[in-house]
Amino acid sequence: MAITLGFDIYGTLIDPHGVTVKLSELIGDKAAEFSLTWRTKQLEYTFRRGLMRDYENFPVCTRNALDYADQVFKTNLSEDDKQALMDAYRVLPAYDDVPAALAKIRAAGFRMYGFSNGVAEAVSGLLEHAGISEYFDGVVSVDDVKTYKPNPDVYQHFVESTGSDKSNAWLVSSNPFDVQGAINYGMQAAWLHRFPDVVFDPWGIEPTIVIQDLVEIVERVK
């Protein structure tokens, strides 16, 4: 059976900080720091909602985190400004290396799925806008099970939805919490060390492989 790859989307294939272009128009030199706070809180809110078993979808967490950052930075964004930023989040760019790498991975014969905290429609739209949707067999969203990574139920959902099993299913992610969630569940996982300053959480749960470039998957995932 062909190996099934589940690619995390935000932070792995798609740059969530692409929103700083719109942020710069609205708040100037605070944009980068604002974006970092927004992203950090967005993830925190998914963790908290998962633990509380009080699910709201990813756009809700994203908007709540935007409201939080607006208050922290005292930017007083209008409702129209916030909607413009939420709209920008739906058309974020892929990282520069992604299209060519995905083409090579696809040509190597892997089954490929987007696997995200995002809702399926939004993720599909992102992949389409970024010009990379053609490489994927489908999108698997946590929204179907109403919880978030790294809950084991999410990874079980991926395996079931793609007709694979733990022995031939891999996660590819730049997010350490996601990699550890997949390993904890029993999948294999490639940590894309996209940013040199990011430290992998020292929990004793290590990635199956560490890659510096997506294209390494072709040779290293077996």
Q: Which residues are catalytic?
A: 8
Q: Which residues are registered as beta bridge partners of 7?
A: 114, 172
Classify residue 183 as exposed, middle or buried by CB count within 10 Å of its CB (0-12, 13-18, 19+). buried
Question: How would DSSP label each residue in 51-75?
Answer: HHT----HHHHHHHHHHHHHHHHT-
- Rounded to an integer, what distance in angstroms lies between the CA atom of residue 66 and that of residue 199? 26
- Rounded to an integer, what distance in angstroms lies between the CA atom of residue 156 and that of residue 143? 13
- Rounded to an integer, what distance in angstroms lies between the CA atom of residue 97 and that of residue 19? 18
